[in-house]
A = this chain, B = another copy of it.
């Protein structure tokens, strides 16, 4: 990986280049927004072929709402990276994050790619620089790595990420680039990535908005000594578990670094009618502006949490619900529980676990989120298109 400055952000590196030693097996996930950026359109085609040698990404400009010229620029960006990677442009994933609706300055992109290529290295320092280069409103770089033994041999999985799944003029798209040395086919890799994302990236909420640029890429080099991973085997389950661990780690880092966030919040719904209900109810709680402002105010506002669970469109019975904040009981048997002081105390902590047991079934879901502060409004109101 390497990072370089092209001048797209006001300061620091803003282009990241990742080059695999040999063409890798590849899979990807993208925003499901029907309004999507040029690099998403381009990378979707690349993902279909399942073979990738490089990833190039820039921050500072999302190359979204830029029409056909934007698509041509995404392609050019891939060609620039391909030159340094020694491959075809069709073997390069492209991602962008930043302002939307402005043409990408290709001279700056070229300068950034050139500088990133010069800085290419496979050490932790290069990875850290790459994680910094793709940051926009993030306050800290985000990376994670894990190792799993398959047939006694180590398989490594690592990744960097930025953003928090929200929309872009405010420069906050989620991008995530993962690598592994596993031997795995593109189809199996895609299944594994989908499974891992379902309980990690799909379980973060910052403000409920969805970006035009979200992209998750994974490249598998096949250089591990472990045997090839096939669907339905113990090796596959071990790989998915490890990949999920990496993705959950990255997802939590994103939720805790949401725009203006002062708290990292875990919403844990149990006892729901089924898993789908649990996800709906945890999402409704995590997405509620009233719940989020209460968290900012350190208020154990059980009423807002229960009301959100009640309007989520899933079974709910007030008398069966039990609600705790960081282990302190707030509501049970249809009435608030007078924990008083302790409840107020735990709400001052930086990490808050909202634990809601609906007492209806065995559906469970966890959603990671953050609070809603003055700074969120400031950051998003001050920005001018």
Contact = CB atoms under 8 A, between A and B. Distances in A.
Interface in A116-175: 166-170
B309 A67 contact: no
Nearest to A68: B334
Contact of A167 (B100, B290, B300, B333): B290
Contacts of A33: 307, 310-311
Interface string A317-356: 1110000000000010111100000000000000000000
Interface string A299-316: 111111011111100011
A64 interface: yes
Nearest to A170: B290
B67 A100 contact: no
A383 B296 CA distance: 11
A316 B35 contact: yes
A168 B308 CA distance: 11
Interface string A179-207: 00000000000000000000000000001
Interface string A27-54: 0000011111000000000000000000
A129 B167 CA distance: 45
A87 interface: no
A64 to B, nearest CB: 7
Which of A36, A296, A310 has the most chain B CB atoms closer than 10 A to its own CB? Answer: A310
Given A209-B288, A209-B290, A302 B385 contact: yes
Interface stretch (A5-13, A14-22, A223-231, A368-376): A368-376
Contact of A169 (B296, B303, B372, B374): B303
A235 interface: no
Contacts of A376: 289, 293, 377
**Copies of this chain, how many?**
2
Contact of A381 (B293, B319, B336, B383): B293
B34 A290 contact: no
Nearest to A385: B301
Interface residues of A, number: 65
Given A208-B289, A299-B385, A385-B301, A65 B306 contact: yes
A24 interface: no
A303 B100 contact: yes
A237 interface: no
A333 B383 CA distance: 24
A307 B166 CA distance: 10
Contacts of A294: 169, 380-381, 383, 385
A324 to B, nearest CB: 15
Which of A211, A293, A333, A378 has the most chain B CB atoms closer than 10 A to its own CB? Answer: A293
13 contacts: A33-B307, A36-B310, A67-B334, A166-B290, A207-B289, A207-B290, A209-B290, A296-B377, A297-B380, A297-B381, A297-B383, A302-B385, A373-B381
